């Protein structure tokens, strides 16, 4: 007689690849038994529902909340109990996620040169530890959620995400591509000039003009005079300066990518000269013997420290001096001397011409222009001058010592009477002029 030992059956189950899986994953549940005998039988339950599978393994795709159990029926002779249950296997099923990434750039995808930009990523389905790979023109350049650098015009930037989510499908996603546009940075500049010049005469209006580069489409101007803003805001400024005034202009540029939007021009320091208005008067002997030296002296005022005097005889220049006198040799006849003074070394000057100085040759006497017998008397005269002995009609002129005609008239054949009662006392020149142009010249004295 054979006596068999009592056997206590047992069963456990295990899921492959795991009991926590992604939605749609197929798992295989394996059973491990003891005391099952030679031909054990199996019944599989999902959520208490009998599946109909009777093998030692069970394969299916769980859904969230599923629980699995296997019931073993032992074939051993002395199995006690003959039927045993495994523990419940509870499944955790995670939903599948689709990772995505998009990127943006700050301050913009269109910037000025030498402007740093920062790219940021917005991610969904990245998991707790997503991976980033920034690509600039296809070259790996950064590995964090943000990327900063100095771009070059035409750069293309994107980012590749590697999701750390358990159920990511797919695990990698590429972002949008940002194409960088760079404008060249420019430096505004302003230069001012003064017209007619930065050195002018008192009372001269000056126009200040601007030459601008990189001012933009609507530049603004602020003129500064002696450190204070003026009311003028245009590209030019006109006013009458005082000596030592300083003028500059401030430009506010609206040019794209201006490095400094507000810049100042050069400063123009005005020099305003006082206007010189010279005077000149000349004096000297009025009667000099022919061949003698004549010295004419000038009295100069308001001509500064340096000047040139141009000397004229009967409106013909004969010499120039830089001292207030001239010396020359007397010829026959009457010299009509004038002097023109021109200051030198000054911007703001006028010229001045003296009154005439008449220089006579001494001992002229009376020069007959008709047959002998012409006489002029008395000399000096107080009221009347007589001209007797004219052989033909003629004219006469009485001239002052500065050459101006004070009296004139016609003369008849024979005797003539000229009244000088209205003339002021002094020395005059009497000219008797024949029809053929010959002259008799005589100095006469009015008492």
Residue 140, phi then psi, degrees to nearest 5: -60, 130
Which tens digit of pLDDT belongs to each residue from 366-388?
333 444 578 888 888 889 999 99
In terms of pTM, does the model score above 0.85?
no
Domains and CATH numbers, the chain: 10-94 (2.60.40.10), 100-183 (2.60.40.10), 189-271 (2.60.40.10), 279-361 (2.60.40.10), 375-446 (2.60.40.3080)
Per DSSP, which regions of 303-438 are E strands? 307-313, 316-321, 325-329, 335-343, 352-353, 357-361, 375-377, 384-390, 394-399, 405-411, 414-419, 426-434
Beta bridge partners of 303: none
Spans in the chain with pLDDT lower than 50: 363-371
Compute the distance between CA of residue 339 and CA of residue 279 in angstroms, rounded to an integer. 11
Q: What is the pLDDT of residue 367?
A: 39
Which tens digit of pLDDT belongs to each residue from 419-435?
999 998 888 888 888 87
Compute the distance between CA of residue 440 and CA of residue 411 in angstroms, rounded to an integer. 13
Q: What is the pLDDT of residue 371?
A: 44
- Residue 28 is encoded by which pair of tokens? 């295989």
Compute the distance between CA of residue 270 and CA of residue 249 in angstroms, rounded to an integer. 15
Closest CA to 420 of 396, 402, 403, 388: 396
Task: Give the torsion sign (CA, 282, 284, 286, 292).
Answer: negative
Closest CA to 190 of 212, 169, 172: 212
Peptide bond into 107 cis (omega under 30): yes
Compute the distance between CA of residue 293 and CA of residue 122 in angstroms, rounded to an integer. 111
Q: What is the pLDDT of residue 332?
A: 78
Q: What is the pLDDT of residue 1?
A: 57
Q: Which residues of 16-28 are buried (b: 16+ CB within 10 A; e: fewer)?
A: eeebebeeebebe
Q: Report whether 337 contacts 314 (CB < 8 A).
A: no
């Amino acid at each position: 007689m054979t006596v068999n030992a009592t056997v206590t059956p047992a069963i456990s189950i295990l899921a492959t690849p795991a009991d926590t899986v992604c939605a749609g994953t197929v798992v295989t549940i394996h059973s491990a038994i003891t005391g099952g005998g030679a031909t054990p039988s199996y019944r599989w339950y999902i959520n208490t529902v009998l599946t109909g599978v009777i093998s030692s393994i069970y394969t299916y795709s769980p859904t969230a909340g599923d629980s699995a159990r296997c019931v073993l029926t032992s074939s051993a002779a002395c199995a006690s109990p003959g039927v045993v249950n495994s523990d419940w296997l509870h499944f955790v099923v995670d939903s599948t996620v689709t990772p995505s990434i998009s990127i943006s750039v700050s301050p913009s995808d269109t910037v000025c040169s030498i402007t740093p930009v920062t790219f940021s990523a917005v991610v969904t389905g990245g998991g707790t530890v997503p991976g980033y790979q920034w690509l600039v023109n296809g070259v790996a350049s950064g590995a964090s959620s943000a990327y900063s650098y100095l771009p070059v015009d035409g750069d293309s930037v994107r980012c590749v995400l590697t999701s750390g989510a358990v159920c990511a499908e797919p695990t990698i996603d590429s972002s949008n591509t940002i194409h960088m546009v760079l404008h060249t940075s420019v430096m505004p500049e302003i230069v001012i000039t003064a017209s007619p010049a930065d050195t002018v005469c008192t009372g001269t209006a000056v126009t200040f003009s601007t030459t601008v580069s990189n001012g933009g489409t609507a530049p603004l101007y602020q003129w500064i005079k002696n450190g204070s803003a003026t009311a003028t805001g245009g590209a030019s400024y006109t006013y009458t300066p005082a000596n030592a005034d300083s003028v500059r202009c401030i430009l506010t540029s609206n040019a794209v990518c201006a490095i400094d939007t507000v810049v100042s021009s050069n400063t123009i320091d005005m020099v305003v000269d006082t206007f010189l208005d010279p005077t000149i008067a000349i004096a000297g002997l009025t009667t000099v013997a022919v061949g003698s030296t004549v010295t004419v002296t000038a009295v100069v005022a308001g001509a500064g420290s340096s000047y040139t005097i141009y000397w004229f005889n009967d409106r013909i220049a004969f010499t120039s001096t830089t001292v207030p006198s001239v010396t020359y040799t007397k010829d026959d006849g009457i010299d009509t001397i004038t002097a023109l003074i021109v200051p030198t070394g000054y911007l703001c000057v006028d010229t001045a011409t003296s009154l005439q100085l008449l220089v006579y040759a001494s001992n002229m006497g009376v020069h007959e222009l008709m047959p002998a017998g012409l006489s002029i008397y008395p000399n000096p005269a107080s009221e009347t001058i007589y001209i007797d002995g004219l052989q033909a009609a003629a004219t006469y002129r009485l001239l002052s010592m500065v050459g101006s005609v004070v009296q004139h008239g016609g003369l008849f054949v024979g005797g003539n009477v000229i009244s000088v009662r209205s003339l002021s006392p002094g020395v005059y020149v009497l000219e008797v002029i024949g029809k053929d142009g010959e002259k008799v010249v005589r100095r006469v004295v009015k008492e």
